[in-house]
Amino acid sequence: MKRIVLLRHGESQWNRENRFTGWTDVDLSDRGRTEATEAGELLRNEGFRFGKAYTSYLKRAVKTLDLVLGALDQDWIEVAKSWRLNEKHYGALQGLNKRETAEKYGEERVYEWRRSYDVAPEPLAANDPRNPRFDLRYKGIPEAELPLTESLSQTVKRTLPYWQCEILPELVRCDALLVVAHGNSLRGIVKHLKGISDDAIAELNLPTAMPYVFEFDEGLNCVGDYFLGDPGKVAAAMAAVAAQGRK
């Protein structure tokens, strides 16, 4: 049996402040660092030995991975980073408080921006300093591929090829892989793996730093999935994520 563990980064400073983050490079909070270490300890206690790890270009995911590998005493394994694992780009919403945005635009509209498959927030202006084209880390990426906003469907469009062409084939060589990324880039992967419909994906909320294990047979077919840890704690954390966009 081969396994891939999907892990959303630990709580960030803007998660703590209930802000839309997207591609803004926000650091982990103290709680987020603790969550990441605890996730690594949980994986260690379950006997996970990873052949390779993957993460995004954003420090909240990169630092989560570092803390997880440290707790596992597997700092030495190969790590690949890709912008294609970045969070969904929230456009002009980035930096805004989710509760205050819900008070202004209504919970239904904010729910669409956060969880629907096809609705994207208003884009950044081309000259907005938050435009990824002004960020050195994206210098080698064609400007046409860099988003100014994204729906989940657009996030899936950039994430899934990396999953299919780079991550999944690595299971031929390794028995276990670790992917540390973001709520929406991981939701897109989960949607693909579990065959979740465009409508039903709105109800999937991934908690921070709780390992989500997918099992594969030798033909790389997904045959099972489960969260590590206490089911009640996982359910409560999912409910807390779902509540972030309410008034």
Closest Cα partner for 90 from 178, 18, 170, 23? 23
Check if the beta carbon of residue 8 is closer than 8 Å to that of residue 181: yes
Question: Which ranges constitute the DSSP H helices of 136-230?
Answer: 152-162, 183-194
CA angle 230, 231, 235 (to 5 degrees): 120
Q: Which residues are catalytic?
A: 9, 87
Question: Where does residue 1 rank: exposed (0-12), middle (13-18), buried (19+ CB within 10 A)?
Answer: exposed
Task: Report the distance separating Cα 71 and Cα 66, nearest Å.
Answer: 9
How many alpha carbons lie under 13 Å from residue 13 in its C-beta half-sphere?
A: 6
Chain-centroid distance, C-alpha 94: 16
Closest Cα partner for 22 from 121, 116, 143, 100? 121
Contacts of 160-163 with C-beta under 8 Å, sequence gap 24+, read 160/188, 160/189, 160/192, 161/84, 162/82, 162/84, 162/85, 163/189, 163/192
